[in-house]
Amino acid sequence: MIDIKNILDKLGIEPVNHGVTTGQVSWPGNGEILTSFSPVDGKKIAEIGQAGKYDYDQVIARSVEAYKVWRLIPAPKRGDIVRQMGDQLRKMKQDLGTLVSYEMGKSLQEGLGEVQEMIDICDFAVGISRQLYGLTMHSERPMHRMYEQWHPIGLVGVISAFNFPVAVWSWNAMLAWVCGDVCIWKPSEKTPLTAIACQQIIKTVLKENDVPEGVSSVVTGGREVGIWLADDPRIALISATGSIPMGRAVGEAVARRLGRSLLELGGNNAIIVTRSADLNIAIPGIVFGAVGTAGQRCTSTRRIIVQEDIYEEVKNRLVKAYSQLKIGNPLETQNHVGPLIDKMAVEQYQASVEKVKEAGGHFIVAPNVLSGEEYESGCYVSPSIAEVENGYAIVQHETFAPLLYLIKYTDIEEAIAIQNDVPQGLSSAIFTNNVRESEQFLSQVGSDCGIANVNIGTSGAEIGGAFGGEKETGGGRESGSDSWKAYMRRQTNTINYGSALPLAQGIKFEFD
Catalytic site residue from 110, 264, 398, 437: 264
Q: Is 364 exposed, middle or buried (0-12, 13-18, 19+ CB in 10 A)?
A: middle
The answer to whether residue 264 is catalytic is yes
Q: Torsion angle of alpha carbons 236, 237, 243, 244, nearest 10°?
A: 80
- How many other C-beta atoms lie within 10 A of the C-beta of residue 307? 22
Residue type, 117: E
Q: H/E/C letters for each residue in 238-277?
A: EEEECCHHHHHHHHHHHHHCCCEEEEECCCCEEEEECCCC
Q: What angle do CA 404, 406, 410 make, to 5 degrees?
A: 155
- How many other C-beta atoms lie within 10 A of the C-beta of residue 439? 12
Crossing angle of the two packed helices 412-420 and 435-442, in degrees rounded to 10: 30
Q: Is 387 exposed, middle or buried (0-12, 13-18, 19+ CB in 10 A)?
A: middle
Cα separation of 143 and 129, whole Å? 32
Is residue 410 within 8 Å of 308, Cβ to Cβ?
yes
Neighbouring residues of 33: CB distance < 8 A, sequence distance ≥ 6? 20, 47, 48, 49, 50
- How many other C-beta atoms lie within 10 A of the C-beta of residue 203? 21
Cα separation of 151 and 229, whole Å? 22
Cα separation of 259 and 252, whole Å? 10
**Strands 269-273, 301-307: parallel, antiparallel or unpaired by DSSP?**
parallel
Q: What is the DSSP string of 287-342?
A: HHHHHGGGG-STT-EEEEEEEGGGHHHHHHHHHHHHHT--BS-TTSTT-SB---SS
Active site residues: 264
